[in-house]
Amino acid sequence: MEKKNKKAIVILSVIIALTLAVIWLHSCLGQEESAEESGFVYDILCPFFEIFMGKGNVTEHFIRKLAHFTEFFVLGLELMLLMKMVLGKVRLKLLINAWTLGTFCALVDETIQLFSGRGPMVQDVWLDSAGCITGVSIMSIIIIVRDKYRKKRKNKKSHVRF
């Protein structure tokens, strides 16, 4: 493995650790703190989403669920990129590994809520898992398209004759 690649893997691993720290620290918040934080985010995002969903149709519940999906979407992007960097070519096995790891992180997230006085929910694990597989899938598509573009470009350069 190249030195440059090792450095990128370490940096991405640190980013993933930070992402998980943010996710899991939010799960450590008690009910009141979590509700206060959700209310703050709701106040910021509500006007934007009302443009698409109509006035009065955006709820704090929607914002909370969107946060679950988004956190694990980002984690899915990161995990798939790490799998590609460490294990190579994008294959179904890599997608499944990244998704399984993300879903395990979702289970840990909901388990943490057992100890923070909040109610863990199976539906949140499903939502987190859906966010993760969406991120994994999109990153896979990006990687495949990029690799095909690079290969096509490399083939064009090798056919140039002087």
Domain tally for the chain? Answer: 1
Q: How far apart are CA 153 and CA 3, in angstroms?
A: 25
Quick check: 67 pLDDT over 60?
A: yes
Quick check: 1 pLDDT over 60?
A: no
Decide: 99 and 36 in contact? Cβ < 8 Å. Answer: no
Q: Tens digits of per-residue pLDDT, 17-50?
A: 999 999 999 988 888 888 888 888 899 999 999 9
Tell me the CA distances in angstroms from 19 to 75, 146, 160, one per residue in order. 7, 25, 45
pLDDT tier for residue 114 given thresholds of 50, 70 and 90: confident
Quick check: 133 pLDDT over 60?
A: yes
Q: Which amino acid is at 154?
A: K
Tell me the CA distances in angstroms from 148 to 47, 56, 153, one per residue in order. 40, 45, 8
What average pLDDT score do residues 79-108 get? 93
pLDDT tier for residue 158 given thresholds of 50, 70 and 90: low
Burial class (CB in 10 A: 0-12, 13-18, 19+), 37: middle
Q: pTM of the prediction?
A: 0.88
Q: Which residues contact 42 (CB under 8 A, 6 or more apart)?
A: 58, 60, 63
Q: Which domain holds residue 97?
A: 3-158
pLDDT of residue 34: 83
Quick check: 157 pLDDT over 90?
A: no
Q: How far apart are CA 52 and CA 58, in angstroms?
A: 10
Tell me the CA distances in angstroms from 48 to 5, 58, 61, 63, 131, one per residue in order. 39, 10, 16, 12, 21
What average pLDDT score do residues 1-15 get? 87
Burial class (CB in 10 A: 0-12, 13-18, 19+), 8: middle
Of the listed ranges 39-43, 73-77, 100-104, 106-110, the least confidently predicted one is: 39-43
